[in-house]
Amino acid sequence: MNFTGSTIVFVEIILYLLLMLGVGIYFSRKKLDHADFFLGGNKLPGWALAFSERATGESAYMFLGAVGFIYVTGLSGIWILSGMFFGIIASWFFLAKRFMKETKKHQVYTLTDYIAVKFPNHSNIIRWLSAIIMVTFFTCYLAAQFSGVGKTLYSFSGLDITIGTTAIALIIIAYACMGGFMSVVWTDTIQSFLMVAAFIIVPIAGYFEIQQADLSISSSLSSMGNGTDSWIGGLTGLALGAMLFTNISWFFGWLGGQPQLSSRFMALKDEKDLRTGQIVAVVWTLIVYVGAFLSAIFASVIYQQGTIEDAEMILPHMVFDLLPPWIAGIILAGILAAIMSTASSQLLVITTSVSEDIVHKAMGMEITSRTLVKISRIITILAGLIGIVVSLASGSIIYSMVSFAWAGVGNTFSVVILLIFFWKKTSGTGIVATIITGFFSAILWSISPLEAIISAKAATFFICLIVGIVVSLLYPEKKVHSANTAFLVK
């Protein structure tokens, strides 16, 4: 890209970042209480929450990790997207309504707080364990997003990864700190439109390039070898079963266990907003997933394997190679949007886990609503800075980091939520055992040889499910005869 083209792209990116900061500044000027900062105070429309949930759910993983994965593996990469799509359907159509009603019933602001109030005999240990796990895994998840920022900027400008990562991360920290959940949702809504635009424009540009160069999609995929031209990757028997099961296992992480996504369901006002959200979520996901798959397949036709040093950078490479600068700048903003929306939501999860679940509830500190917001903002800044350090120190691979966090948080807490929602014999001891099992299972399975056979995402879900059921049967819940004492914000 020439100097003029680079200048156009940079100007568009700067304008986009200023817009995000502007949203944060706007909400920082409002008098937010803790209900507004943590969950929007039931003031957000269903369509905005749906856009936010979808933008948050599809992070650097979708634009960089998943597209890069499909670029390398070929047609069989469809099974990852299939597993995730059905998980999204399940969460919006079978779990969202339950989340909405339970939130209003128990007057809670976080996923951890909801789990804790359901089991008052174990409330404090649940809060402490959940906070430790969420902070641990979401710091890795946050670091993966920050790494995606640095790699994206470097891919087209050569900007030092440390500088790019730090600069964008500080902007994310700033608007998340200033406006909390309110600013995160509205910035997500803007970002979600950019993401849709990206996955409409890029595959169209790729298709025209293939037609112009008179390339054959089927022949190109066949020449790549390794089963890239097969929907099942050229596998049979146990190998095929393991591949399908591992890829589709992303499904389990969508079943209520991702707090940055479940919080959008908890913030819904009524069933009318829920129905609007369901329609928006399904249409948005179909456009983005089809666009992501086609972008990756077309990229594998246009660029032979090995010509791109980092497969996760194939989409930015494609954007700047095929599109004029002013469009490329918009698409790059869309990639950054995906990263920033997820990072800000994960940052908010870390913040609420510490400030609401630990400082306020577990430690029982009676503080004013405004003071709690101030504490939350300080924690947001500290957590963001730690995320930057981890990102720069790890040099993380986005796909692996997200997959690891997905197992540790998403699949563990999905089991917890499913047990609470649909099995009356679930006990507090069973939930505690499930959370502890999920933490160690995700770590130990990920570093063991078993990971090459079955992903930790699938293994963690079923191990946790078995443990939760068995321990709940062995140690049933005891009835609480005295009123549950709640710490209220003054």
> Which CATH number covers residue 195?
1.20.1730.10
**Burial class (CB within 10 angstroms; exposed 0-12, middle 13-18, buried 19+) of 109:** buried
Per the structure block, which two tokens stand in for 257? 């266990």
pLDDT at 484: 44
> Which CA distances in Å does 111 have to 291, 302, 428?
32, 44, 15
For residues 181 and 267, the answer to whether their CB atoms sit within 8 Å is: yes
Residue 58 located in a structural domain: yes
For residues 415 and 434, the answer to whether their CB atoms sit within 8 Å is: yes
Helical axes 325-352 vs 123-157, angle rounded to 10°: 160
- The Cα–Cα gap between 296 and 366 comes to 52
Choose the most confident range, by mean pLDDT, from 40-49, 156-165, 210-219, 246-255.
210-219
Reported as a pLDDT band with limits 50, 70 and 90, residue 181 is confident
pLDDT at 285: 95
Average pLDDT over residues 226-233: 88
Average pLDDT over residues 230-242: 87
pLDDT at 485: 44
Residue 283 located in a structural domain: yes
- The Cα–Cα gap between 429 and 468 comes to 8
Reported as a pLDDT band with limits 50, 70 and 90, residue 329 is confident
| Predicted confidence (pLDDT) per residue in 55-64, tens digit | 888 866 787 7
pLDDT at 4: 63
For residues 429 and 475, the answer to whether their CB atoms sit within 8 Å is: yes
For residues 53 and 67, the answer to whether their CB atoms sit within 8 Å is: no
Per the structure block, which two tokens stand in for 10? 């940079």
Of 257 and 38, more confident: 257
- The Cα–Cα gap between 41 and 369 comes to 13
Per the structure block, which two tokens stand in for 42? 């039931």
Residue 420 located in a structural domain: no
Per the structure block, which two tokens stand in for 440? 């160690």
Choose the most confident range, by mean pLDDT, from 368-382, 390-404, 428-442.
428-442
Residue 247 located in a structural domain: yes
Of the listed ranges 3-7, 20-24, 476-480, the least confidently predicted one is 3-7
- The Cα–Cα gap between 326 and 11 comes to 10
Average pLDDT over residues 215-220: 90
pLDDT at 48: 94
Residue 43 has φ and ψ, to the nearest 5°, of -110, 5
Average pLDDT over residues 200-226: 91
318 backbone φψ class: left, alpha, beta (φ>0; ψ -120 to 50): alpha
pLDDT at 486: 44
- The Cα–Cα gap between 443 and 134 comes to 13
Q: Is residue 169 predicted with pLDDT exceeding 80?
A: yes
Of the listed ranges 113-117, 376-380, 469-473, the least confidently predicted one is 376-380
pLDDT at 467: 97
Rounded mean pLDDT of the chain?
Answer: 85
Residue 379 located in a structural domain: yes
Of 146 and 396, more confident: 146
Residue 387 located in a structural domain: yes
Task: Identify the sign of the CA torsion 67, 73, 75, 77.
Answer: negative
pLDDT at 454: 81
| Predicted confidence (pLDDT) per residue in 372-381, tens digit | 888 888 888 8
- The Cα–Cα gap between 5 and 365 comes to 55
Average pLDDT over residues 145-153: 78
Q: Is residue 2 predicted with pLDDT exceeding 60?
A: no
Residue 438 located in a structural domain: no
Percent with pLDDT over 90 in the chain: 34
Number of folded domains that form the chain: 1
- The Cα–Cα gap between 254 and 179 comes to 26
Q: Is residue 83 predicted with pLDDT exceeding 70?
A: yes
pLDDT at 403: 66
Q: Is residue 401 predicted with pLDDT exceeding 80?
A: no
Angle at 144 between CA 142 and CA 150, to 5 degrees: 110
Average pLDDT over residues 68-88: 92
Three-state SS string across the chain, please? CCHHHHHHHHHHHHHHHHHHHHHHHHHHCCCCCHHHHHHHHHCCCHHHHHHHHHHHHCCHHHHHHHHHHHHHHHHHHHHHHHHHHHHHHHHHHHHHHHHHHHHHHHCCCCHHHHHHHHCHHHHHHHHHHHHHHHHHHHHHHHHHHHHHHHHHHHHHHCCCHHHHHHHHHHHHHHHHHHHHHHHHHHHHHHHHHHHHHHHHHHHHHHHHHHHHCCCCHHHHHHHHCCCCCCCCCCCCHHHHHHHHHHHHHHHHHHCCCCHHHHHHHHCCCCHHHHHHHHHHHHHHHHHHHHHHHHHHHHHHHHCCCCCCCCHHHHHHHHHHHHCCHHHHHHHHHHHHHHHHHHHHHHHHHHHHHHHHHHHHHHCCCCCCHHHHHHHHHHHHHHHHHHHHHHHHHHCCCHHHHHHHHHHHHHHHHHHHHHHHHHCCCCCHHHHHHHHHHHHHHHHHHHCCHHHHCCCHHHHHHHHHHHHHHHHHHHCCCCCCCCCCCCCCCC
185 backbone φψ class: left, alpha, beta (φ>0; ψ -120 to 50): alpha
Residue 368 located in a structural domain: yes
pLDDT at 490: 39
Reported as a pLDDT band with limits 50, 70 and 90, residue 156 is low
Q: Is residue 483 predicted with pLDDT exceeding 70?
A: no
pLDDT at 488: 41
Q: What residue numbers bound the domain in which 38 lies?
A: 3-399
